[in-house]
Amino acid sequence: MVIRPGDKHPYTMSRPDATPLTPAENAAGLDPIAALSVLDDTTRANIIGTIVGHPKGAPSKKELEYYNPSIAASTLTDHLIRLEEVGLIEAIERDREGLERGQPYRFFQLTDAARELFDRNNLFEPDAYRELFAEVEKTDEIKAAEDVDRPNRRN
């Protein structure tokens, strides 16, 4: 089939960027194409899935390592940096006062713009990921890490 300029096209392609940016995406400077393209990497998609499925929506690096055992710690850091750069996640920290040695104080959560982008494109549905997450066997150390209070969701 040859398509010439001015022809009416019987088919349209679905584009995740076809809708205008939401206020949160616009304010965050989130580029939907760049954000979704970093998820072509299975490891980064798994990290996002872990964040979405986490009971508190903000796992520590220790928890991310536990739930993604095939990712080396240094590689995990690189992936987290990339996800932050495109605006999909943000790091939040709690005050270290009152924490026992080894307890996490830094956590990773989706940005509001990322959640809106995922909702608009039917990606990373929270209930499905939480159900999968609940089935994972957890060590006492990971249970303790999950019990640590996170800072307010948005600081």
CA distance 87 to 42: 18
Tell me the HSE value of 125 on the side-chain side, using a 13 A CA sphere: 6
CA distance 117 to 35: 9
Burial of residue 84 (CB within 10 Å: 0-12, 13-18, 19+) is middle
Whole-number pLDDT of residue 153: 60
Residue spans of the chain under pLDDT 50: 1-3, 9-15, 17-18, 27, 155
Burial of residue 6 (CB within 10 Å: 0-12, 13-18, 19+) is exposed
Whole-number pLDDT of residue 6: 54
